[in-house]
Structure 1
Amino acid sequence: MAKRVIFHELVSLDQASEILLKFARPLGEEEVDIAQAYGRMLARDITAPIDVPPFDRSTVDGYAVVAEATYGASELTPVEFKLVGRVEAGDWPAGEVKPGEAFEVATGAPLPRGANAVVMVEFTQTRGDLVKIFRAVAPGENVMSAGSDISAGEVVLRHCTKLTAREIGVLAALGLRKVPVMKRPIVGIISTGNELAAPGERLGPGMLYDVNSYSLAAAVQEAGGLPVIYGIVRDEESSYKSALLKALSESDVVLISGGTSAGVADLTYRVLGELGDVLFHGVMVRPGKPTLAAVINGKIVVGLPGYPSSALMIFHTVVRPFLLKLQCVEPSPPAVYKAKLAYGVEGAKGRRALYPVVLIARKDGYKAYPLYAESGAISVLARADGYIVIPENVEFMTEGEEVDVYLFEKFKPAELYFIGSHDPHLDTILARHNVKTVYVGSMGGLMSIKRGEADFAGTHILDLETGVYNVPVVQRLGIKGAAVIGLYRREQGLIIQRGNPKGIKGVEDLLRDDVVYVNRPRGTGTRALLDIHLSKLAQRLGTPFEELIRKIRGYTYEVKTHTAVAAAVAQGRADVGMGVRYAAELYGLDFIPLGWEEYDLVVRVDVLDKVFEIVREALENLPRGYEKYEMSGRVKWEG
């Protein structure tokens, strides 16, 4: 006769959950078609193989022009341009645009070489091969530049990201057909008891329908697992063992409902103890006291109470977190967070505005950091945690104003927030840590440190008066409670086409009529470095700086990343641009070195220890084009 099992040591509900979580190791990865990727978890970081968009394209129907040639145009004083070509979306423009010329473009069509803006068709009038323009445009207006959404080589989606419609849009934009995802746990489900009958069968005297097999299967699906129902097992040891061994051979996790109490006929405790190691038997909770768990051949088996309500409650409090952890999933937070705006944003003048934001956790609450996106951009949504709504009748929301952040998905505060200048090597290091990254340029990063959103920022700004990188500008901005850590030097130079067909030797060649340049935006360290070289050239030539840059074709043609510069050169939209050596090598281009710059980190002093771990990792294996210098890994300034 079987002996009655006695519960000697009960564990708490939290302890039961923690014990299982210690065994929550990833099950590996598999590739699925992008059409079946919804709801899955990424198994590794996704690095962009291409720029998105891969070329400069128009966001409106209109005429591609050199923006500077439109200055002064108005309804009273229109400017007349010569029409030199036309291109539709999906075609490639033949020829180039010079000042005083226009090229008709459709929405989504690539910009011809030399053009840096598009005049909307509504502000033009065409007669024959002449186009009248009634409104001036600024450089970059109505243009989405190559790599402005996603840059080749950029880590766009992180390991353990849940794939929703937004992330799948990013993957599709990158041209990825197969997606590496975490394997979903196969969960075998067994119900025990002589009193059970399967739904659809006729109930005999004293019989009950099997509820747990199906309710648990649905709960497993909700948790992302793949349930396999093994049916009802009678209270007989040989059939019980046979069903359990079959489930273990075909599943990653096994759930057994019933047979876990101290009753004479209960087999689960005895059988699990014979086949493996019992982790706990009995939980200090009501209902659910008889719950037990064991590990057999490295696989977890959980015995749940027979009562359906008890089984489901224990599943959600103990088993569900374990299944989610196997897939790199965390429980979802509330849908809306209160936060304060990091900086002011404009409304849409009579329309409701939706701004994607990064939600930043701070000791005194949350900050919402708005992310601006160009027309057609999708990558910004993958980086955002949610969005804020600006009503139709609000023209401007000010810095510090409280807003509701509507979450796209679960929100898990990052351990650290990096806002600042993009560096391709550092980006690969940050991807290994719980760091939220926002790339806004050196000056944008320094201002985010000053306002309190960022924990650390990357910067590479040379002070002309002292010849010192980064520290003087931090001091001038009056940033308190932060330190400048020396990171490394990066080799900057001119990125040119393979074989250097234009015979470019240095910055002086940017003044040539047959050379088109691609620039970085104001506020970036690379733009500042170029202007330093141009200022020296202007002094040598005895020419005012403003007059000198007007001679450079493409000086106002701006792209946001180093790889976007390389893409413009590789595709022939420009002959030359300034960037790091890494970007040139990524595109197989030639590189003319102009010197080395110091790329440093500005760090809040209360997180210095955490950031130093990242610094040490970044300095371990530097790729070509990077080198340590005397202050690498050390505090250069603290204030």
Structure 2
Amino acid sequence: MVVRRKIFHKLVTPEEALEKLAKYIELKPLGTEEVSLEEALGRVLAEDVVAKVNSPPFDRSTVDGYAVRSVDVAGARENAPVKLKVIGSVEAGEIPSVNIGQGEAVEVATGAPIPSGADAVVMVEFTRKIGENVIEVFKAVPPGGNVSQTATDVMVGEIIAYKGTVITPQIIGALAASGIDRVLVYKKPKVAIISTGNELVKPGAPLSYGKIYDVNSYTLYSLVLEDGGNPKLLGIIPDSYEEIRKALAFAIENYDIVITSGSTSAGLGDLMYRVLDELGSPGVIVHGLNIKPGKPTIIAIVNGKVVFGLPGYPVSCLMNYNLLVKPVIRKLAGLKTARSRVVKAILPLRVFGGKGRRTFIPVALIRKEKLIAFPISGDSGSITKLTRSDGYIVVPENINFLEENSEVEVYLFTENYGSDLEVIGSHCPIFEKILAKLRGKYTVRQLNVGSLGGLLAVKRGEADIAGIHLLDPETKQYNIPFLRKYGVKNAVLIKGYYREQGLIVPKGNPLGIESFEDIIDKNVRFINRNKGSGTRALIDILIAKIAKERNIDLKEVIGKINGYWIEAKTHFAVATAVKYGRADVGVSLKYIAKIYDLDFIPLAEEEFDFLVPINSLTKASVKEFIGNLRSKEFIGALNETVGYKPKSDIGEIVKVNH
């Protein structure tokens, strides 16, 4: 069978996409239904709710005490008490059977009706019994004092809650107080959620190589709930024309909205647009957005139902849900369109746009002298890219880049942005153990951008702590030379520990790799580390050394390394590539080699230190970090961990001088 390739239709903006959609679907609530108060929380009222009774429905006491005529106790005080005769008592729920006359009182409980003739209640604390039916009152009370009068809260016919209001626990209380047990609300749009892809596995199931867990189904489910919809997961559908067609036909027939993720691009394996075009007219009305990330997006109308085909990558999927699906679901649910809160911040780095496409860039907001919007690295498949971000910035389609130190508008994901401790720099599994202890007490954000990225983040004033392990090729000294080279001032270097770096190869070392030279001479498949990382700096120093020893041009040596341009961003990524046969060798930690059951050939013992701005040393979280670093517990853990050992001066603070 020949599989057709379909090129994207004309790319449109999100605004144009919603305008097209509105031509086919009336974006208003789908109907109403009556629900009980127990079911009403979070629902949207479809009509104004009017009080059926007064609240309170009678004059009632707000305290335990004595119902009195205020005129009788007008002169009462500590040294001149007023005596009153007690003629009865009333509990909450009872009907008073007595009338109060001059010089009389009735004992009342909180919530009890006020007897006829009384206009106030004296708190029991300001009275004293001096006989079986006589009390003394030590404090005057004004007319109406400690009495909740009829209809002072709500009057019959008064509107308690208005049409379009989201029902809260407080509103439910007000409804119950007015005798209302059922309310008319808008129906929740029923939303079917489908994930497509042969590579997807349900969370909780074993994960074999080449498979990934389904992230989007559960993210979308939560978002739909949050936006007033009634979501239903229809499972994972393989990239099969018949399976996708069957699932979509069922969803379109039984649900108001269908959301799919995956199978939306113009590739040979992406079938969604074909199925939707064939299921009903008009079919696909949007195929491709003029944005980045999120270009491969579909909107279709089939038999009067709207289908959103979102990209498979989690970041693209979530961003496009917010742009397209959220406003539609909220309108069908009777909710107001959610407005993003926007704050202004300084962009510390130049960021590039999408060459004619509107570009959305997640950022972390860092509270310093000015609010800083730090761009979060990672592709649109990154799961943590959004969990580490507080919002996003937009690079318009007609701009190539946003300049360093420019003021930008940040569209917030959350109102609670910023962290107690900003950790930006190189990743280290043992460093994580210290941070884990701090997380129970502080909000800690960790951005793994490599040693050089962390050094520059400290220099610019964004990071509180940066883990670094940069080897200078000339002095063979770690870290200090780079602080001078990049002009880092007003910072200190906190001494850390040693880590053993080396070549990692499959168990048994089947290719007999013994040194870095073998990577060149045996033409094995190598996986490199990302630029800016300390491990990459070590690799490049080793390559330069070989070129010098062999009197060969550096570029020529690099050209002989099969995989030099293939980069991994973490030690774990290197180990995974070697473990599952995508590479024969890489450079990583001895600690990582043990975790993945790989063989290890030592190359170097590197120094992992911590760079801290001087003005962060006063922060409680940083002080506690330094204390943990120096602790006997942590030093003992280092000594017991494969490939690690503490420096003799661990935790010592070294001032950076120039």
- TM-score using structure 1 length: 0.49
**Structure label with greater radius of gyration:** 2
Provide the TM-score with structure 2 as the length reference: 0.48
